[in-house]
Amino acid sequence: MKLGIARERREGERRVAATPETVKQLAGLGLEVLVESRAGVSAGHADDEYREAGAQIVADIDPALLDILAHVRPLELPTATALKRGAVTVGLASPSSELATVRVLAERGVTSFALELVPRISRAQSMDALSSQALVAGYRCVLEAAIRLPRFFPLYMTAAGTVPPARVLVLGVGVAGLQAIGTAKRLGARVSANDIRPSSAEEVTSMGGTFIKLDLETAEAAGGYARELSADRGALQRQLLAPHVAGSDVLITTAAVPGRHAPLLVTREMVQGMRPGSVVVDLAAESGGNVEGSVPGRDVHVPTADGKGTVTVVGLKDAPSAMPTDASRLYAKNVANLLALMTRDGTVVPDFDDDVIAGACLTHDGVVRHPPTAEALAALTGENAPGDARADASADAPGDTPGDTADETGTAGETDNDLADELAKGPVKASENEGVV
């Protein structure tokens, strides 16, 4: 079977769905790997490296000739339309915000796998793209803050005097949040963190941080993940967080929920209460922002309440793409491992009795197999989704496995992998790289 690795064309995307290392793995499965010329250049991989690994380099990838297509960003409509019936796709699909593409994939008879839907179970960890990319994002956001902060992160004791360490506050203790805590600690900062899940306190401590316990009701859902706070509880949360925000030199927020506007954790008034020169990094800026006034891809300077300076609010955009080499290394392994699970004697044959395969499948044989997405399509069009088989899909694709987002913070809302809560309210505008950051 022919497996295509196309060059990502969305602006700002520098990752690639396969590396020379994973090409060897895929070729070893008996797949014929075609890599579009310069597909891996931005991630540090030249065409010759892919060729040496066993891939065929082609000038352009023609989706109509492929049996399998691996991708990073959600497929664009022209690509989805060009795929032949029975083709298989593997990549991030952002189903709640790409409903038109999902409909086309179903109508074309394409078997598509969305890495956002991979179940959160031990056996599927090596295929968990949300966590692997959140790892990159959590690391990157600390570096972005350190570059902008006009002072040191670590403690310095010199003949000229003592420089105290920077104080970093992380809101959300999911994969990205934990990585942010660890990175800030390694840079020498004094780190504290908050999460509405009591179980996260131990995780914060294990990373060397101090857990901030608020006088707030527990909001922990099944599997140890958080549920969204009510409006009045969210307001109380912000009130209780305000003095901790004001006392921080760096604030990092990580709450991003696929298919929905990111929860508001920090108001403009809270930002203005910080000291001049402080830095705020909003990892969820692309999906609406956890910080009031953040703008994706831009630095916004907010005057402090005392009028003595400004606070820099960084709306982080394309965080994993800012570190394309290692982000691609991890992502490509996620893709290759999922394909390896489905490949027998050089042929990709999904076994829908396997919970991992069934859970990750978005469309198959003309049917939208992911029930929440099928419901969203029906709500959008006022008719049944392609295949009208949501009942069957429910049996094949368990959608109650909780999962992370670009970081699955427990601060003001946590996503479930099935997107059920999000999509039950109807389709909404979401971040372009939903669940990736």
The answer to whether residue 200 is catalytic is: no
Answer for the pair 21, 55: CB distance below 8 angstroms, yes or no. no
The tokens for 79 are: 């690509």
125 catalytic per annotation: yes
CB 101 within 8 A of CB 381: no
Specify the residue for token string 């999904």: 350
Tokens of 419: 């997107």
| Ramachandran sector of residue 318 (left: φ over 0; alpha: ψ -120 to 50; beta: rest) | left
Contact status, residue 253 vs residue 237, Cβ threshold 8 Å: no
Query: Which helix or strand (DSSP H or E) is residue 171 part of?
Result: strand 167-171
Q: Are 422 and 96 in contact (CB under 8 A)?
A: yes
Query: Could you give the CA distance from residue 34 to residue 44 in angstroms, rounded to a whole number?
Result: 18
CB count within 10 Å of CB 428 equals: 15
3-state secondary structure of 234: helix
C-beta separation of 17 from 70 below 8 A: yes
Please give the structure tokens belonging to residue 402: 């909780």
Q: What residues are paired with 192 via a beta bridge?
A: 169, 210
> Catalytic site residue 25?
no
Active-site hit among 225, 248, 321, 407: 225
Dig out the tokens for 277 from the structure: 């020169």
Catalytic residue, candidates 120, 167, 260, 369: 120
Contact call for residues 336 and 20 (beta carbons, < 8 A): no
Q: How far apart are CA 199 and CA 195, in angstroms?
A: 9
Query: Please, are residues 74 and 9 in contact by the beta-carbon 8 Å criterion?
Result: no
For the stretch 38-42, contacts whose Cβ atoms lie closer than 8 Å and that sit 24 or more positions apart, written own/partner, are 38/7, 39/5, 39/6, 39/7, 39/8, 40/16, 40/328, 42/14, 42/15, 42/16, 42/324
Secondary structure class of 150 (helix, strand, coil): coil
Cα gap 76→337, rounded to integer Å: 24
Strand partners, 220: 226
Considering 73, 94, 128, 407, which one is annotated as catalytic? Answer: 128
Report the distance separating Cα 210 and Cα 390, nearest Å: 46
Rg (CA), the chain: 22
Among the options 125, 206, 230, 239, which is catalytic? 125
Which positions are catalytic? 120, 125, 128, 131, 225
